[in-house]
Structure 1
Amino acid sequence: MRRPRGTDSEVGRLRTVLVHRPGPELQRLTPRNAADLLFDDIPWVSRAQEEHDAFAQALRDRDVEVLYLTELLVRTLELPAARAVCVDAVLADLRLGGTLRRRVAGHLHDLHPQDLAGALVAGIAHEELPTGAGLRWKLMDRHDFVVEPLPNLLFTRDSSVWIRDAVAVTSFSMPARRRETSLIQAIYTYHPRFARTPMIYEPEGEWIEGGDVLLLVPGVLAVGTGQRTTPAGVERLARRVFAVGLAHTVLAVPIAQERATMHLDTVCTMVDADAVLMYPNIADELVGYPITGGPDEPCVGDPEPFLVAAAKAMGIDTLRLIDTGLDPVTAEREQWDDGNNTLAIAPRVCVAYERNTETNARLEGKGIEVVRIPGSELGSGRGGPRCMSCPIAREPVGGTGLT
């Protein structure tokens, strides 16, 4: 029986999640292009797949329905309108030029849905397009891509966020990721599983990424803002959720833009209804600006320390803090290894990389069950279990079904 959709917290029992199993797109990474494609290392792909399979199985073992992005995409591409949207996103690349654009269009339109999904995700190398022509084609290196691969699809959290029964398809600042949203938007628009799902944000909006959005409690969001998510993006999301009654408060949380702190969920994730795991080296600096709906414009309040602002918005006395690592040195190391990027699958139960031993020990010392998964290769793109998952359905905290 099809499970309901909707999520209004970070920690309610997880029922359905969207993931992407790493595939040929990761095999496209080389020392020459890895940085441009936002990876620090070149992953061992077969091991990354084994690790991801272990992650998915750990979720299934807790009765979580695991949906795979590529499987949904193939079904979506059976529909002509969806094919057109996804192909048009490729052809919008101004680097192609008119001649090569026509050849790429002809090649993609002739592909079977399974092969088209593969090309859209893994890209098309120069040597793989038999009909290539034009000046752009002639000047390309044989190792260049006519259609860029999308290795960051692995991190499904970034491209969409469910807020109650509505979905926000996000907007990427980084060129290497912008085409991801065309695939996600097509799935949510055309796949039968998601028919009539309200969409409250679109890729054409100001920059905002899902890793910056935390659902603290029903009606309260915390949204990190920095290079990846702009203040304008936070404001637009706030306007949208206020307008349709999905939230009454949004906390804007400025974060320093370093490689290991690119999103709010790289420094703060929830592990219980009143507890967060936080990178201690910036805990004292993190603040929240409360945004509430006004009669004409959103009202922005004065900043307060994040834990104080969050507790007030959530209507609780204190938000409990659990530190990443056991001391400043291990905290910095395990922060880099995604020790803070946990995925709650129920209150006081979270999935974490097994290698972050100090952080996991601290969590267990505070009464949090840790489901450990391997992640030596999955972490090469700087993302943990939360980054690799987009919750589609959670039970209300303390409840037995979605409301």
Structure 2
Amino acid sequence: MSNRVSIFSEIGILEKVIIHSPGFEVEEMTPKTAAQVLYNDILPLPVIAEDHRELKEILKLVTKVYEVRELLRDVLENNAVKNEFIETIIRFFPILKRRREEFHVMTPEELSYGVIVGIKEKKDSLTRFLSENIFSLPPLPNLYFMRDSAIVVGDKVITGSMANKVRIMEAIIATFIYRYHPQFKSEGFILDGTEEGQEALVTVEGGDLLVLKDNVLAIGISERTTSQSIDLIINNLCRGITEPFYVFAVVLPNERATIHLDMVFTMVDKDRCVIHEPYILGNGRLPVVRITLEPNGKKTFDYMDNLIVGLKTVGLDLKPVICGGDNPLYQEREQWLSGTNFFAFEPGKFIGYDCNVKTLESLAKEGYTVKHAREFLSGQSKIEEHKKLVIGIDGAELARGGGGVRCMTMPAKRKPVKW
């Protein structure tokens, strides 16, 4: 087992997490170009940067926090790795062939920065001068949603075969970190979304994958993650198991509010999850298939009544807390603002947006202390003083980007849970 990466649950004590503090790449969006990079609207950088800083400071109180750009810079210090990185970029963006030499003379600091904020087109011909294209390599305003580009499963990694190719650079960055960084090198890849020859139908993003226990995964079938990618994942998982392994495939509607499974379900404690009730338990509950993988390679597929019932069949008995409380109006509003999208840093202690008031009230009724991040950052309160805790961060503007705290974090190592 790798001592560098290890994830066997959603809730184990967090030891390493990768984030990206949003920067100038966000300000490259305009109202006209926002939709091209999967946003509904432009975001004010000073506000989201400050709100994200609050998240980073809270995480630093409980674990080791790494910035993705710094990790990429580290791996690019190796010239052979840097050369491979440049050739991988050119494979996905052939227009950059003519600028290969420029990339080679860039320092690791310059190259790691450039691939994030974008590399502008050179207007060195009439055609390029007349072109409306600003960038040869587009900026990555989605990068602060670190979850999507890769996920650690056990001691191996799945890197995203991104549904929208404007995000493929994010997956390339994650792949190079998990392949080459001495502190994050994994034991291999269950699926590498940047591999040459990857089928067009094989798309997967980390927001759809939840590692619930060492032998239980939940995966959303969504506009971002296909059933074909799940087939590939389970076929690769079968090769390394010595006991039954369970995958729950949840079929999500093709809607903006449900781009990933973690927008309707997250696990926050040994016996608690937060759900969007209409889609998990209500009349509109989503189809769920339990896939049982045997060490001999046999696979069986069974429909479950719902995800909660299905998880109970494999020994994971979770009591759901309803996003938005009992009122359907607030359920819909708070789900839209990532009200189910919590990130646990140990069992029963987790972080979410403070704007989802009704959801926080529901958690308080279940015995969780609800406090704003400022209370801990100021020293007014201490995290270790609380057994069951929800930390709220300012996130109304961050939520407009289309995700929550789980979306913005890429956990790389957790301690095993004592079930």
Q: Partners of 2:172 and 2:93 in 1: how far apart?
A: 16
Measure how far apart 1:15 and its partner are.
1.6
Aligned 8 A contact 1:325 1:331 in 2: yes
Q: Which amino acid aligns with 1:270?
A: M
Residue in 2 aligned with 1:329?
A: 329
Q: Partners of 2:221 and 2:340 in 1: how far apart?
A: 18
SS in structure 1 at match of 2:248: strand
Measure how far apart 1:4 and its partner are.
5.0
2:104 to 109, 112, 133: 109
Task: Tell me if 1:320 matches 2:319.
Answer: yes
Residue in 2 aligned with 1:44?
A: 44
SS in structure 1 at match of 2:73: helix
Residue in 2 aligned with 1:392?
A: 412
Q: Partners of 2:214 and 2:237 in 1: how far apart?
A: 12
What is the CA deviation profile of residues 232-268 of structure 1, one whole-angstrom value per residue up to 9, with x for unaligned ones?
Answer: 1111111222211287111111111211110000000
SS in structure 2 at match of 1:289: strand
Aligned 8 A contact 1:339 1:353 in 2: yes
Aligned pair count reads: 386
Task: Tell me if 1:249 matches 2:246.
Answer: yes
Measure how far apart 1:339 and its partner are.
1.1
Q: Partners of 1:271 and 1:86 in 2: how far apart?
A: 37
- Name the CA shift for 1:95/1:162 in 2 (closer, same or farther; >3 Å): closer
Q: Partners of 1:259 and 1:196 in 2: how far apart?
A: 33
Q: Partners of 1:164 and 1:296 in 2: how far apart?
A: 19
Measure how far apart 1:92 and its partner are.
2.8
SS in structure 1 at match of 2:142: helix
Unaligned runs of 5+ in 2: 369-388
SS in structure 2 at match of 1:154: coil
Measure how far apart 1:135 and its partner are.
6.6
Q: TM-score, normalised by structure 1?
A: 0.90
Aligned 8 A contact 1:89 1:179 in 2: no
Runs (4 or more) in structure 1 with deviation over 6 Å come to: none
Measure how far apart 1:297 and its partner are.
5.0
Q: Which amino acid aligns with 1:312?
A: T
Q: Partners of 1:38 and 1:113 in 2: how far apart?
A: 28
SS in structure 1 at match of 2:172: helix
Task: Tell me if 1:353 matches 2:350.
Answer: no
What is the CA deviation profile of residues 328-376 of structure 1, one whole-angstrom value per residue up to 9, with x for unaligned ones?
Answer: 1111111111111110111111101111111111112112321011113
Aligned 8 A contact 1:323 1:359 in 2: yes
SS in structure 2 at match of 1:301: strand
Written as runs of structure 1 = structure 2, the 5 A alignment for 1:195-210 is 195=185, 197-203=187-193, 204=195, 205=198, 206-210=202-206
Measure how far apart 1:296 and its partner are.
4.8
Measure how far apart 1:180 and its partner are.
1.3
Aligned 8 A contact 2:18 2:410 in 1: yes
Q: TM-score, normalised by structure 2?
A: 0.87
Measure how far apart 1:220 and its partner are.
0.5
Superposed CA RMSD in Å reads: 2.0
What is the CA deviation profile of residues 294-345 of structure 1, one whole-angstrom value per residue up to 9, with x for unaligned ones?
Answer: 54553222343211111112x14x4211100021111111111111111011
SS in structure 1 at match of 2:400: helix
1:215 to 201, 211, 215: 211
Moved more, 353-362 or 240-249: 240-249
Unaligned runs of 5+ in 1: none
Measure how far apart 1:121 and its partner are.
0.7
Q: Partners of 1:239 and 1:303 in 2: how far apart?
A: 21
Q: Partners of 2:126 and 2:169 in 1: how far apart?
A: 24
SS in structure 2 at match of 1:151: coil
Q: Partners of 2:304 and 2:232 in 1: how far apart?
A: 19
Residue in 2 aligned with 1:273?
A: 270
Aligned 8 A contact 1:85 1:182 in 2: no
Q: Which amino acid aligns with 1:229?
A: T
Fraction of identical pairs, as percent: 32
Measure how far apart 1:226 and its partner are.
2.0
